[in-house]
Amino acid sequence: MIDILQYLPPRSRKGPSGWFSFNAPCCVHNGETRDKRKRGGMILNGDDWSYHCFNCGYKARFVNGQQLSLKARNILKWMGVPMDVIQKINLDSLKNKKIYDIASDRTNARNEIIQHNVFFEKQELPPISRSMMSCDKWAVDYLASRGLDYQDYPYKVSPQDTGRNKQRIIIPYLYAGDVVGWTSRYLDDRMPKYINEHTTPGYVFGLDKQNPEWDFMIVVEGIFCAISIDGVAVLHNEINDKQMALLRRQGKEIIVVPDQDKPGLVLAKIALDAGFSISVPDWPIDVKDVNDAVKEFGKLGALLSIIAARTSSKVRAKVMLNNMVTRKKLN
């Protein structure tokens, strides 16, 4: 995709919020005098960008995978982008349309419960626990810091409990609508941070969130990674035999996204040996896992990068993993 920044007007500057400001080229085309106070702004998210004029109010937006709108074409033309370049941007974008549509579908479809013909014993959550509410600011703020909304999953808290349990987030393990276990995420300074309770061997977190119409299933290590991208989690950096069988039973392409650290290399090898696809996107050094990627790029951006990088080729996977080891300095 063409770097749109090279076409920004002269003396553009980037502000702390990420917006590039410059004299807006749209005003003279919308009944206003020529802007001389840098009231045009553009912000990028990967190849996507948004434009806004704080003088005449003109807005335009481009999303990779979608056709350039008339407003987006106009702002590019007014910025002096040649027509052949505008056409190339549009063609390159449409080449990614299938990837965009797949990722977009996953961001819009939620809460589809499917039956798997596998039995897990029902469990009772701690009797003193209750649903998380907006007044539980300590818990709500923690989830927000991870790019999550407390209403996106049936999180529980137990502030009336004793000891460490006063300040924990309880993440129920759901299967076909039933609670079959849970994890407590403690928010104090003590270790361990996570305690898995009443887990059943072979359980895969997040299957209840999978839509039967989705063609693939994203498999990650951790719970919050799974929640942030509507994937499933194996809860550690290995896939045991029962989990393997349960994943195969879904009838979907399995895309394993390992954490970008040394333990993640173990998961990647297991996935490749099992014949699954893996995805190791070229994320920045400080983006370690899927949840970090969602915080950095948004859910759709993270999905696009995962889908684009997926491969079932061991040769290509080895190259991606070697690049990750070098990039993350894991030697």
Question: Going by DSSP bridges, is the β-strand pair 277-279/253-256 parallel, antiparallel, or unpaired?
Answer: parallel
The long-range contacts involving 260-266, CB below 8 angstroms and separated by at least 24 positions, are 260/287, 260/288, 260/289, 260/324, 260/328, 261/288, 261/328, 261/330, 262/330, 263/221, 263/237, 264/221, 264/237, 265/321, 265/325, 265/330, 266/237, 266/238
Query: What is the reported pLDDT for 104?
Result: 66
Q: Are residues 292 and 233 in the same domain?
A: yes
Residues 173 and 40 in one domain: no
Compute mean pLDDT per 10 residues along the chain, 331 residues long, and list them: 84 86 92 89 87 89 83 91 87 71 62 56 91 96 94 95 94 91 93 84 90 88 96 94 89 93 95 94 92 91 90 91 90 74
Same domain, 189 and 258: no
Q: Are residues 106 and 243 in the same domain?
A: yes
- The string of DSSP letters for 236-271 reads SSS--HHHHHHHHTT-SEEEE---SSHHHHHHHHHH
Considering the domain architecture, whether residues 179 and 238 belong to the same structural domain is answered as no
Query: Tell me, what's the pLDDT at 111?
Result: 45
Strand partners, 253: 216
- Mapping DSSP to helix (H, G, I), strand (E, B) and coil, where does residue 157 land? strand
Here the tokens at position 276 are 């699954």
Query: Based on the domain organization, do 12 and 104 belong to the same domain?
Result: no
Task: Specify whether 177 is located in the same domain as 67.
Answer: no
The whole-number pLDDT of residue 289 equals 96
Distance CA 24, CA 53 (A): 6
Residues 114 and 257 in one domain: yes
If asked whether residues 108 and 8 sit together in one domain, one would say no
Identify whether the C-beta of residue 4 lies closer than 8 Å to the C-beta of residue 72.
no
Q: Please give the residue range of the domain that contains residue 163.
A: 121-199
Distance, CA of 295 to CA of 299 (rounded, Å): 8
Do 327 and 213 reside in the same domain of the chain?
yes
Contact 15, 8 (CB under 8 A): no
| Total domain count, the chain | 3
